[in-house]
Amino acid sequence: MVSTSEPDELKQIILLRMDLNMGKGKMVAQGAHASIDAYLDAVSKTPAVARKWHEQGMRKVALKVESEKELVSMFQAAKDYELPCALITDAGHTQLEPGSKTAVGIGPAKSELLDRFTGQLKLL
């Protein structure tokens, strides 16, 4: 997949599991948790990038993963790239069993870098 993004364009990736059949509201909440936690990780690890992403409008892309295995694999890949990231585990108060891994936030980081390992995933 060829990236059409500008070299300095930043974005954040939010991965959501499709196999859990979360309701739309639940999915939005889990994605929001992933976004905020990954952003806080970026503030700690790469504060200049976090600030620039915020100034650029906080671009986000939500993508589908089909299983817990795929979600955890993508989270590990982000960690291996030393990207800011967060794995969200649900408390189990509503639709899901406690401890269900629901979402991953990756970035903010350069779009080009994120596309290297998430480019094969489908948009939510």
CATH number at residue 66: 3.40.1490.10
Q: Is 27 helix (H, G, I), strand (E, B) or coil?
A: helix
DSSP letters for 23-38 = -HHHHHHHHHHHHHHH
Q: What is the pLDDT along the chain (124 residues), one digit of tens a residue?
A: 334 455 579 999 999 999 999 999 999 999 999 999 999 999 999 999 999 999 999 999 999 999 999 999 999 999 999 999 999 999 988 889 999 999 999 999 999 999 988 999 999 9
Q: Is residue 101 part of a domain?
A: yes
pLDDT at residue number 21: 95
Q: Is residue 85 part of a domain?
A: yes
- Cα separation, 38 vs 47, in Å, equals 12
pLDDT at residue number 3: 44
What is the extent of the structural domain holding 57?
A: 10-118
- Number of domains within the chain: 1
